[in-house]
Structure formats: C-alpha cells, structure tokens
Structure 1
Amino acid sequence: MSNKVYIARNYRSKFDAAGKAKMDCETILENNGWKNIGFKQTWIANSILGTLISALGVTWAILRLKSGSTVCLQYPFNKFYGYCLWGAKLKNSKVLTLVHDLKSLKGKYGHSDKEVKLLKQSDQLIVHNDKMAAWFHEQNFNSEITNIEAFDYLHTDNPNAKRTQTDYENIRVVFAGNMGPFVYELDGLERGNFKFDLYGVGYDAKKVKDINNTILDYKGCFPSNEVIDHIDGDFGLVWYGNTLDSCDGVTGKYLMFNNPHKLSLYLLCDMPIIIWDKAAMADLVEKEGIGFSISSLRDIKDRLAELTPAQIEQMKQNVQRVKADVQSGQFLTKALNRLS
C-alpha cells in the first residue's frame, strides 16, 4: 500500500455543487498515486445514514493507517477532522490538510481559537492563495504551506454545449449563483454595450424595478452537473454583497481570502472573468490575462467599451490555456508536487 493515503467520505449528492470540489480532489489524489484507505466515496442524501457511513469509514481508515504514512485530509470534514488527527498521531503519521473553507475568515463566525488549534496539528497545508497563506503565517503556523491558486473542476467538454459568438455591441455578462441584493441594483448602471444573464437560485422578478427596461435576463437554475452546458455568455462575474460599489458583507469580505469555485466554473464555460479588484483571485486573473478586475460594478461600462475585439479574443485564448489545467486537475497536482 502507498504511504500516501486519503479518506473518502459520503456526500449528500453526486451532483451537489457544494461537494463538487471535494469529490474532485479525491479523484485527483487517486490519479496522483494516493490511495483511499476509507470506504468508497458515496452519495447518500440521508444525513443520519451518510454521517454514520462517514464515521465508520474514518474508523476503518484509522485502523488501516500504517505508521509513517502521510494522510491527506480535506478541511472541513464535518465532525471527523479532529478524530482523524488523533488517529494520525496514534499511528505516527504525517498530516497534509487541504483547506476548502475557514470559519475564522467569515465575519459571522469571527476568529476561532479552536479552529486554529486544530489546523496547527497539520504538518503541511494546501491553502487557497497568497492572501490566505499570509493569514496562516500571522497565526504563527509552523506547517509547510503552499497554495492551490485555483480549484480544479474536473469536466469533459460536451461538444453539443451551446457557445454563441460574441456580439460586441451586446456583450453578455454572466452571473451564476445565489442572487444577492446587488443583482437587482444592476439596472441602475449607466447603459452600455452589455447586459447580464443570470443563472441560479433566489431570483425574484418582483424585485426588478422596471421589467420593460431591464438589462437582467434570468436564464434559470440547473443541476451542478448540467449547468456548464447551459451557460452561454461572454464574461463571468465574480461579485458578492449588497451594493454595486464594493463586495461587502460576510461573503464579500471572504472573497479577499477565498478561491470561489464559481471562477473555475466560468473558465469551463469558456468565459473570461470580471472580478472585484480586492478579491484574492484578482491577482491570478490579471497575471494570466483571463479577464480584468474592477473596484466597482459602475466601472463595467467603460472597461468593456475600451476593450477591442482582438483583446477580448486574446483573453478567451488565455482562458483555454488555464481551463485545460482546471479541468484536468493540474492545480492540485502541482501543489502536491511542491510538497512531496
């Protein structure tokens, strides 16, 4: 058995967007020679049964864990992360933690000494980006830390997916996800050569101020395994909060540290990115030439108007390069290799 191992778990659904990143990471680990010592990955919606299966799988994994191994844990791991740490210490094994989410960086939770204490027991950490790594260093972590840079999104292109050529007089900016309050404020923007196509949950047509003079076009909500084939646009918008002028609130501030899975989704839909300039991933977007950053949504009109068709096409070519890495699991693979 390989001395590099991980523990698969139960997810509520095979097609649940919330679990997509973690399920993909398990596949990428396997592709890189890491072996699952728990039960096989399952997709049982019943929370009680699913939790029981995960608990038994973790216990089985700890029993099988060989001394001197390296075990990769994905955090958070429900109630089992601490249990896995205990088992790894018992078996004199090293722990690599792949961080997906941090309560301590979400305003509604505040700093958690318990969370920090738990994560400090990890020997190695894969975190989202430089901004998140800096936060870990501020907490005096002695672990070896590297960045994933972007979350992979394993997917095979559907040749039948609709991809319409860009109309430069009517650029389609896509927003996919939960419809935050800022969405309905978009109609207050000065009109330009753009409109917004919306995909996701929570859309309320009654909140549209003037249905006869709106630049919002709601396209519907689709399962996570199908949405890539339905989204057809020119740019993908990464924005959260209540206002047009800044990403505010809990989700907005978290964007300063977080790698949203939404960005990877947009790349798989062949779209360059428009992102808040204070977001952690704005650096990657600018560096790779896969879009542009803005401080306010009011800047969209001028930024899109000044782009030439040749510049937009170059962004789309850059997207294809980064997309190839995202859909084949290269970002996690590179992070793993840096720690080996």
Structure 2
Amino acid sequence: MRYLINEYVEDFGNAGSKARRDISSILGRNSTTVINLPYDSKKSHISRELETWRTLGRYWNSATFKGQLIVQFPLRLNKLDQFGVLKMIKKFQSKVVIIHDLESLRRGDESLAKSEVKFLNKFNLVISHSSNMTTYLREHGLNTEVRELYLFDYLAGQKETGFNQGSPISKKFKVYFAGNLGKSLFLENVPSSLNDILYVFGLNATQKMKRELKHFMGFVDGEQLPDKLKGGWGLVWDGASTMQPTGLLGKYLAYNAPHKTSLYIAASVPVIVWSGAANARFVTENFLGISVDSLGQIQSKLESLSGDEYSKILLSVAEFSSKLRNGEMILNVLRKEG
C-alpha cells in the first residue's frame, strides 16, 4: 500500500500550491492513502499539534510500515510536527520524496544544501526536477536513487487543442506569459517585436508593465487559465534581463522544472524556453517547443519554422497535454516508465 503525507497548503493562486495539490489528488485517485494533516486556524496551536500527532498515530502499525511513504519537499510543518513525520519515515520500508523547491538554489545560499541533502538522504528514492538538479545534489552528498521528472502534472478538464494540425504555420503569432509578474521585471523592457504579440497574465504587475505592455490581461486563476490560452506559444522566462535570465531567478531556471511550462503544455500551447534552462533539451527533444538565447530571437525563430516542424510540435504537445491533465508524469516516474 502507498501512503502520502499531505500538508495543508493555502491556495494563494500560485504555481507552488497547485503543484502540491495536484500531486495529492493524482496519488489519491491511484491506490494511495492520503494522510491529510489537519489544519484549523481557529484552533489553538497546542490543539493543532495534538490533532496532527493523533492523525499520524493512526498509521503507526507494522502492516502500514510495509508499504511506501511519499513526502513532498520542502516540508512546511513546524519543527515539532516535522519531528513526528521524520520518526514515521524511519519506520517505512520504502520511502519517496518529491522535490518542489530547493531553497539553497532558489535563495542562492549553498549553506542550506547540507541540511536539504541530509533530509533527502533519509529516502530510498528522490524525485528531482532535472539532471542538472540531480548533479547539484550529488555534488552536495546525495547518495540515494534519483529519478528526474522534467514536467509536473497540471490537472485540468479536457479541452480541444484549438489548433488545426493540418494547416500551415501562421505568420500571425501569439506569445503568452503567465505568472508572478513582480519577479518578471523583463516585462518592463520587452523588445518591440515581441511586445506586439505578447499577452501577459498575472499578479503584481508594476505600473511600467501596465503602461508599456500592449496586451496586459490581468490575473486569471490557475484552474481557469489553460482555457484562456488559445493557440500561440507560452514563454518561460524570469528575471530583469531580456538577453538571458539573470541573477538568482536565472540560475534557478538552470535547475528547476517551472510549473509555468506545465501550464502551457496542459493548455496545448507549445513553449519557448531559455536555451540554458534545465528543461531546454527535454523540450526540444520531445518537440514541445523551441529554445532561444534571448527574447529578441523569438520572432525570427518562429518565422523560420516550417509547416511540417510546426505540425510535429503541435502533435507532441497535444499528446503531453493529455498526460499532464491526467496526472501521468508523476505516476510514470514512480513506476519508472517513460
């Protein structure tokens, strides 16, 4: 039997909370007992602690420990609750951890890597974002089995692709960008060739973005957003520079699998990624989009695609869209398939 420890994750309308909720939903539908750790903000801290420990205690038995335990990392629990989870992890014969973020990379603070790797080494299997992330963890002492995911699932209802796969490539492109605009300052200085075709969705837009962007669409909830993206391409980029992702955000793209990529593909939209991104090779080898060195290359790269190349991309994106919407990526990596 498989078990998943599921923490309460408040929905702030961002990718991080949806990724965790989707994994819990997918596994819960597929022969997994989800151990929902209680959270009630109206109760006192002590009451919540006792309820959490009572919940964990219901699964402390020899039959349970012969199964597999899955944890999503990093844990958001307080120290006492983490202690209870760690005690439980020790008892299981099979232990899996799914990485959502590495704070040592996200913050650019390698002093955190030692504690992250110490935690991850408690598991038989670590599910990493990419080969780059795996290499980083190995360099910091990770010694357990690792499998790479590359694309997170993105649960959503089925939809038509919106593409006529038999038609020639259109010269009238649309490019979409969706996310936390406050950390996407490159949107203040988008090249004019891209600004004409760029449609931007998200929170925390600066006044300059609202003023300069030709197509600022505002915020749309992540559950509804895939159905707003009709045709075109999805841009995966971060940081302040249009030449290449720079600073901590740029460095993180070289290791992680952005949930934004999954959003676009779930919407049957091929992606445009930075050539230095961790998933750039995965995207191009699986015909899920194109890679560029800078935002200024986008227009020419799109125009250089032949009709056959475009159709091949659309067919592959449609196939992966179905996988992501049905939760197949995490299930396949747990089964060590594809």
TM-score range, shorter chain: 0.7 to 0.9
Partner of 1:173: 175
Deviations 1:27-76 (A, max 9, x none): 22223322124458x8x7x5977997587346522441333332111111
Partner of 2:202: 200
Partner of 2:56: 61
Aligned residues of 1:7 and 1:58 also touching (Cα < 8 A)? no
Give 1:181 deviation, angstroms. 1.4
The correspondence of residues 236-275 of structure 1 with structure 2, limited to 5 A, is 236-275=234-273
Partner of 1:279: 277
What secondary structure, in the 3-state scheme, does the structure 2 residue paired with 1:279 have? Answer: coil
Unaligned 5+ segments in structure 1 are: none
What secondary structure, in the 3-state scheme, does the structure 2 residue paired with 1:157 have? Answer: coil
Partner of 1:185: 189
What secondary structure, in the 3-state scheme, does the structure 2 residue paired with 1:86 have? Answer: helix
What secondary structure, in the 3-state scheme, does the structure 2 residue paired with 1:7 have? Answer: strand
Q: What RMSD in Å do the two structures reach over aligned CA positions?
A: 3.0
Give 1:270 deviation, angstroms. 1.5
Alpha-carbon distance in structure 2 between the residues aligned to 1:96 and 1:56 = 24
What secondary structure, in the 3-state scheme, does the structure 1 residue paired with 2:96 have? Answer: strand
Aligned residues of 2:188 and 2:208 also touching (Cα < 8 A)? no
Partner of 1:300: 298
Alpha-carbon distance in structure 2 between the residues aligned to 1:164 and 1:50 = 52
Give 1:333 deviation, angstroms. 0.7
Is 1:23 equivalent to 2:24 in the alignment? no
Aligned residues of 1:82 and 1:118 also touching (Cα < 8 A)? no
Partner of 1:332: 330
The correspondence of residues 189-228 of structure 1 with structure 2, limited to 5 A, is 189=192, 191=193, 195-207=197-209, 216-228=214-226
Partner of 1:97: 97
Q: Flag the 1:54–1:246 CA change in 2: closer, same or farther, 3 A.
A: farther
* 2:109 partner letter: Y
Runs of 4+ residues over 4 Å off in structure 1: 46-55, 163-167
Aligned residues of 1:198 and 1:217 also touching (Cα < 8 A)? yes
Give 1:168 deviation, angstroms. 2.6
Alpha-carbon distance in structure 2 between the residues aligned to 1:26 and 1:54 = 22
Aligned residues of 2:124 and 2:145 also touching (Cα < 8 A)? yes
Aligned residues of 1:241 and 1:248 also touching (Cα < 8 A)? yes
* 2:29 partner letter: N
Alpha-carbon distance in structure 2 between the residues aligned to 1:50 and 1:226 = 35
Give 1:205 deviation, angstroms. 4.6
Alpha-carbon distance in structure 1 between the residues aligned to 2:187 and 2:218 = 15
The correspondence of residues 307-318 of structure 1 with structure 2, limited to 5 A, is 307-318=305-316
The share of aligned pairs that are identical, in percent, is 24
Alpha-carbon distance in structure 1 between the residues aligned to 2:306 and 2:44 = 55
Q: Flag the 1:37–1:206 CA change in 2: closer, same or farther, 3 A.
A: closer
Q: Which moved more, 1:224-233 or 1:329-338?
A: 224-233
What TM-score do the two structures reach when normalised by structure 2?
Answer: 0.85
Aligned residues of 1:228 and 1:265 also touching (Cα < 8 A)? yes
* 1:173 partner letter: V
Alpha-carbon distance in structure 1 between the residues aligned to 2:101 and 2:234 = 22
What TM-score do the two structures reach when normalised by structure 1?
Answer: 0.85
Q: Flag the 1:62–1:279 CA change in 2: closer, same or farther, 3 A.
A: farther
Partner of 1:125: 126
